[in-house]
Amino acid sequence: MKQEIQLIVFHTNKDDPKKCTARKLQRFGFATLERNLRKIPRHALLLNPFAEKSLSREDRETSLKYGIVALDCSWKTAEITFQSLEVTSTSRALPFLLAANPVNYGKPFQLTTLEAFAAALYILDEIDQAKTLLKLYTWSLHFLTLNRQPLEDYRKAKSSTEVIKAMKQYF
């Protein structure tokens, strides 16, 4: 049986519970919600939009071993919260992708926690796990359709540098 990548959400309880994709991921057993910074696995891969390096295949082993962490918080406090998490995590930014969620449809970089995890998994060549997550909402499988070519290009890139090079075609 193929090992799935552990998904952890640092959850700050600052969102609308009805629209929170992280809570639904937890309810269906796809992710763990954590409210205590100390319980975030050391060396886990942190999806951080402020990171200097892009997520790429180079991060696959780290993800398999320690998991992927996403932050679910208000954008008003995001930068400070990410700085707190960076101390024990490996920060990586997701490359250019368009949101498919109803609130931010078509907007670049405005992904839900669900979309961020799915994008990361796809780039790390865990396509089946990404698709499984995206079945949680009727709109979410459209995320793959909307971003099909960029995701494929990012997945095929061997390094962060190659991901950045591929990303420049899309904006």
Tens-place pLDDT, residues 143-165: 999 999 999 999 999 999 999 99
Say if 1 falls within a structural domain: no
Say if 41 falls within a structural domain: yes
pTM above 0.85, yes or no: yes
Tens-place pLDDT, residues 33-59: 998 878 888 889 999 988 999 999 999
The total number of structural domains in the chain stands at: 1
Give residue 75's domain range: 7-167
Q: What is the DSSP string of the chain?
A: -PPPPPEEEEE-S-S-TTT-HHHHHHHTTS-EEE--GGGSPTTPEEE-TT-SSB--GGGHHHHHHH-EEEEES-TTTHHHHHHHHHTTSEEEB--S-B--STTTTT-BT---HHHHHHHHHHHTT-HHHHHHHHTTSTTTTHHHHHTHHHHHHHHH-SSHHHHHHHHTT--
Say if 2 falls within a structural domain: no
